[in-house]
Structures are given as C-alpha cells and as structure tokens.
Structure 1
C-alpha cells in the first residue's frame, strides 16, 4: 500500500466510521454529522467573533478614555458649582440677617440717644431726680414768672413731697422765689391750688402763714429757711421752673 493510500485512509477514518454507523443506525449518524458540521461552523466563526474584541484600536480606546475623563470632570465641576452656590446662598442669608440686625441696632442706638438727650437738662438747669429745675436771676410778677417757665417748656415748681421741698430750699437759699402755688376763688371759696391742679396736701408754711382771711389774690414763695410765705401777684420776685424728664 502506498503512502498516499495510508494518508487518505487516515483522513477518511471518521467518515467511514460514521458511514458504518449509518448502516447500523442511521439516526445516530445524522446527529454526529450535524455535530461535526456545527463544530466546523463554530470553528470557522470563532476567529471572526473574537476579532472585534482582540483587535487593537488605539483611536477608539483614546476616545473612550477621553469621554470617561470628561464625564468625571463634568461631575466634579457640577459638585463644585453646587457647593459654591450653597455657600453663596448661606453667605447672602447671613449678610441679610446681619444687615437687619445692624439696622435694628442703629434704631435702638438712635432711640437711646434721643432718650438720653431728653433726659439731659438744658444748659443753665439743674437736675434732681427725674426733673430739671431752672433758677431765675431776674425778678418778675407771679404771672410773668409763670409765662417765662411756659416759654421754656416748663412751669412753676410744684412741691408735693419733702424731697422736692428740700431741693427747692437749696435752690432758694439766697432769697424768695415764686413757686407754683396760688390762692384762687373756686366753687364759692378761696383755696390754695398748684398750677397742675393737684390739691395742696403737703404744706411747709412759715409761722402765721398763710392769711386765710385775706381775699386778695396771693401766691407763695419759698424763703431761705425753706418755708413758704404768701405775697401779692404783682410783687416782683425771682422764680423757679420745673421740667419733667
């Protein structure tokens, strides 16, 4: 037997075997042939399917890397912008709150300053407690003295307690001064009454004062010892004004 014959026999071994099987069992041979054909088909397709995955394409890889980098950077920048926006919003809110508080603080300072100015006594006045007192250097009638106090936003002093009596006594230690007490005809009788219409409850009259049987209009002044005396309206004396704070 020649070499060609041996080779041909080796190459056709499976075929003859399958064909022999066909003689015994045709159905099984058909399955084996299909299997061989499928294996051959997959063997042919195998390199074709693997080619796209194994094929080296630098341009495509670079594009994919660029896209991934761009997406990552884009997300990072979005997060940064969101953080900056939140921070700016918080800063704006804080600024608005501080501005509002500053405005309120300025208003409170202004109100406090106004109150302080109101609580200060004008030049030439003396403060005792919650009142300012003005001691005149000129002399005038009782009505003229009161008119001067009115121009100064005040009135003749009203003495309704011992503390104020002490203050007025210290102010009038060098003479007699008109105070805000007058003798007027009211409701069928003569009575002493303060300029603010308050009743005369606390009295610091000097001895033998006042003259109740006197029907002439009279007012009181404060003597050096702090005692009250009466006088005619048209007498000229110094006076003391009082302004509430």
Structure 2
C-alpha cells in the first residue's frame, strides 16, 4: 500500500499541474502550440528552402567559373592581339627596310648599268685606238722608201716639177693620186711636207653636173677650204699648197710645180 499511496498523490499532482497550466495559461498553451506548429512548419519548410539554395549554388559557381574563364580568355586574346600588333609592326619595319634596300639596289643597278655602258664604250674606243695604232704601226713599218706616213696614208713629194696633169700621171704610175686634204690636221701635215713650196694637190675647178665648181679628184665636195687672200679666181685653175702662210693658191694648166702624191693604205 505504501507504494500505491505514494504513487497516487504524484499522479494527482501531475494532473493538476497540467490542468492548472491549461486553465491558467490557456493562451500560453495556444501560443506554445502555435510556436510548436510554426516550428514544425519551419522544420518542414527548412528542407524545402534549403533545397533551392543548394540548387542555386552550382549556377553561381558556373557563373563565377564562366567569368573567370572569360577574363582569362580575354587576357589571352589581348596578349595574342598585342603579339600580332608587335609582329605586324616588326614586319612593317622589315618591309620598309627591304623597300628602301630595293630602291637603293635599283639606284645602284642603274649606276652600274651606266658604268657598264661607259666602260663598254670606252672598251670599244680603246679597241679602235689599238687597231688604229696597230694599223699605224703597219703603215709606218711598211712605208716605202721616199714616202712619208701620216694617218692611214703614204705621201710622196716630188723633187722635179711638172704640169698639174703630168703630176697626176706620175702619182697614178706610183699607185696613188694627187693628195686630197680632208681636215686641218692633214692640211698642217701637207703644209710642212711642201716646205713653203706651192705643190700641186688634187683639187680642180671644172664643169660638173651643169655647173663650174671646185671638186676633189675622188668626187668629194669641197667642205673645208684654206684659200689664201683673194683666192680662188674662177677661171679654170688648179689648186696648189701652200704659200708661206700655209694657204692654197692657184695655177694654170701649163704651170710647172712640184706635187704631192697620196696613197691610202686602209
């Protein structure tokens, strides 16, 4: 009985306490119930709210990764563009240098071509001079006794006197003809060879092609003259060279004078 008696009061006390609590604080019970219900509701909603939050984390992570990747790629592209720009600048500089070098080479090529042409012309002239010297050497070496060489001809001055026609006949027998003076150099040579004597030369005044004119024996026109003052007088004379002033004079067909023959070698 002691055990039962002890237990019973405890039971009645608990009931009363609970009731008292229920009676005295009914509102608190309701609030506790509401609180519990809210807590249970929040407990139920907790996993639901947690799930979307956990579901949005990968997207945010993906966005962060995408941004990081975009920034990295952007930097990489900028580096590539910078490298390409530097490469382009270097290539452009190299191209400009090559273009300048090409222009300089073209100028040098033009100068070399001009130099080559000049050298070629000088070489041709040198060859001509060598040939002339060789011919001159041959002319001098083979010049017959009593003849004098000048240029590419041999000259013979007679020691006797004849008419113009007789003088020409003598020259032709020697394989030559009366001298024909073509330039100032030959005029000077003939003047020195005549030794201030008026010798017959191959110039005559005759009727040719419907008119009277002075003409050389080979038919060439008289383009350069060395007449003495007051000469020539156009009355059928023949020319002689030279007086003391080194000028041409005239003579009749029956005048006697010395003569100079010319034989062209080349």
TM-score computed with the length of structure 2 as normaliser: 0.46
Asked which structure has the greater CA Rg, the reply is 2
TM-score computed with the length of structure 1 as normaliser: 0.50
Greater length-normalized contact order (CA 8 Å, ≥ 6 residues apart): 1
| Larger helix percent | 2
